[in-house]
């Protein structure tokens, strides 16, 4: 039972990281019908910004955090204007390729500026974790889980209870109709990119104390987050969270009880299962609303 509880906590913690990045995938997909393959690099860039502000410049952690998120908002604007906007009238394929190109550009730019050395970023708390009976709770994972829960609640409130959220939803469901109703579609898409970049950045900053800050950190997480998005259902916020948590738990338990070397294999087996038997994911894409 002790082993089970420890694995469950770790699985939820890792799954929450996937869920945070998956949220960014979903939001951009809903708004633009395009998968942003640079979402993982948003996490990496934000983590490096934190290293620059908190470690190199010795700014207070909270100030570094706010500045890093502001930097990510700016990156979201640049990304929208430089990558998506010029190709917005083209089919989804050129846009997807452009996002892959942008991810390579971001990774190599950081490599050129900061060098290849992985960096250590301390967490929010001085205490690395707490022992609760037989289970060790890593404080950073606790924070990640708490932030994920808070973001789920915030997203629900934002998209269902605020006018801006409803405008964003309307844009994602039918851009022409939204435009006819007086909604500025380009502004809504810009806001979506900013929000997704900030979400990706938040994931990167939160996970950096656990995984270290490296050029590869984004792509490693993004691959799993992408799988989580498919499992949960592309286009569904709740699906991204459920998919992320499910993936984290499945791979952790699979590794512990079946085989550690095939840990990644379990995650992708589940992905293949969903692609074959339920391609719309657990929650399904709301195709009817888009038709």
Residue 129 interacting with another protein (CB under 8 A): yes
Per-residue mark of binding to another protein, 204-243 (x: CB under 8 A): ------xxx-xxx---xx----------------------
Rounded Cα–Cα distance for residues 4 and 189 (Å): 43
Residue 255 interacting with another protein (CB under 8 A): yes
Q: What are the backbone angles phi and psi of residue 252, rounded to the nearest 5°?
A: -70, -45
Residue 256 interacting with another protein (CB under 8 A): yes
Rounded Cα–Cα distance for residues 115 and 162 (Å): 43
CA neighbor of 84 nearest in space, from 163, 159, 191:
191
Minimum distance of another protein from residue 251's CB (angstroms): 8
One residue of 57, 70, 111, 164 binding another protein per CB under 8 A? 111
Minimum distance of another protein from residue 265's CB (angstroms): 9
Go through 38-55 and write b for each residue having 16 or more CB atoms within 10 A of its CB, e for each that does not: bbbbbbbbbbbbbbbbbe
Rounded Cα–Cα distance for residues 29 and 12 (Å): 25
One residue of 91, 108, 162, 187 binding another protein per CB under 8 A? 108
One residue of 74, 128, 156, 164 binding another protein per CB under 8 A? 128
- Whichever of 188 and 211 has its CB closer to another protein, that residue is 211
Using only C-alpha atoms, what is the Rg of the chain? 19
Minimum distance of another protein from residue 68's CB (angstroms): 21
Minimum distance of another protein from residue 132's CB (angstroms): 13
Residue 91 interacting with another protein (CB under 8 A): no
Residue 3 interacting with another protein (CB under 8 A): yes
Beta bridge partners of 130: 137
Q: Which stretches within the chain are classed as H helix? A: 2-32, 39-50, 61-79, 92-114, 139-161, 163-173, 175-180, 185-211, 217-232, 237-257, 263-277, 287-290
One residue of 61, 85, 158, 262 binding another protein per CB under 8 A? 262
Residue 124 interacting with another protein (CB under 8 A): no
Angle between helices 139-161 and 237-257 (to 10 degrees): 160
Residue 143 interacting with another protein (CB under 8 A): no
The binding site for another protein (CB under 8 A) comprises 3, 6-7, 10, 14, 17, 108, 111, 115-118, 120, 128-129, 136, 138, 210-212, 214-216, 220-221, 252, 255-256, 260-264
């Amino acid at each position: 039972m002790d082993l089970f509880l420890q694995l469950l906590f770790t699985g939820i913690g890792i799954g929450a990281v996937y869920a945070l990045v998956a949220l960014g995938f979903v939001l951009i997909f809903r708004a633009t019908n395009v998968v942003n393959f640079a979402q993982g690099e948003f996490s990496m860039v934000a983590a490096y910004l934190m290293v620059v502000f908190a470690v190199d410049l010795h700014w207070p952690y909270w100030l570094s955090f706010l500045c890093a998120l502001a930097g990510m908002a700016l990156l979201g604007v640049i990304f929208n204007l430089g990558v998506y906007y010029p190709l917005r009238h083209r089919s989804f394929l050129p846009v997807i390729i452009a996002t892959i190109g942008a991810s390579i550009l971001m990774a190599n730019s950081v490599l050129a500026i900061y060098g290849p050395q992985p960096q250590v970023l301390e967490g929010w708390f001085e205490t690395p974790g707490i022992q609760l009976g037989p289970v060790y709770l890593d404080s950073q994972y606790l924070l990640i889980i708490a932030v994920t829960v808070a973001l789920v609640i915030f997203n629900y409130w934002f998209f269902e209870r605020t006018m801006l959220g409803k405008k964003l939803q309307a844009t994602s469901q039918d851009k022409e109709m939204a435009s006819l109703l007086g909604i500025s579609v380009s502004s809504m898409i810009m806001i979506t990119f900013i929000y997704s970049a900030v979400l990706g950045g938040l994931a990167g900053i939160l996970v950096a104390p656990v995984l270290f800050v490296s050029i590869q950190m984004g792509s490693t997480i993004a691959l799993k987050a992408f799988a989580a998005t498919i499992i949960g259902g592309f286009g569904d916020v709740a699906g991204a969270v459920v998919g992320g948590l499910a993936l984290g738990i499945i791979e952790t338990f699979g590794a512990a009880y079946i085989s550690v070397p095939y840990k990644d294999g379990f995650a992708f087996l589940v992905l293949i299962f969903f692609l074959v038997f339920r391609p719309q994911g657990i929650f399904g894409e709301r195709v009817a609303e888009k038709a």
